[in-house]
Structure 1
Amino acid sequence: MPSLFFLTTLLQTADVARQDVANQFNNYLVLGYFVMWLIAMVYIVSLAVRQRNLQKDLRLMGQILEEEEK
């Protein structure tokens, strides 16, 4: 009987260790997804800012051309 108790204790300890490793991996997985979403959002915002600046430049160039035609 003591060997059975030892075996069940050993298996439970190994199971807890596996769960700890799995939980640690899950934390890195969530962190990785967060970083990827953050990078994607920064990229999208930078594209929006660049597009807005290009539209301003086009309007300014149009105004300059209209003034030169007069």
Structure 2
Amino acid sequence: MVDVITTGALIATPRGQSGVSVDLQMTYLAAAKLGDTVQLDAEVIRSGKSLAFTKASLYRKPEMTLIATGLHTK
């Protein structure tokens, strides 16, 4: 999920390029159970000539508990 949502964030930038994954790190903070609704937010931290750095946050709704974060380099 993090790969897909951070790639979408990169495509939405003016350059509009997705790139190739170089690194993907995940930190799991809490569980999501079957049937839970999960919200994913992504942001581009920095985008250079050859690499882009992105971050994703996953929240369990409706209480918006942070359940995981991901750092993705493309």
Shorter-chain TM-score above 0.5: no
* Higher fraction of strand: 2
TM-score normalised by L of structure 1:
0.19
* Higher fraction of helix: 1
Q: Using CA pairs under 8 Å that are at least 6 residues apart, name the structure with larger relative contact order, 1 or 2.
A: 2
Rg (Cα) greater in structure: 1
TM-score normalised by L of structure 2:
0.18
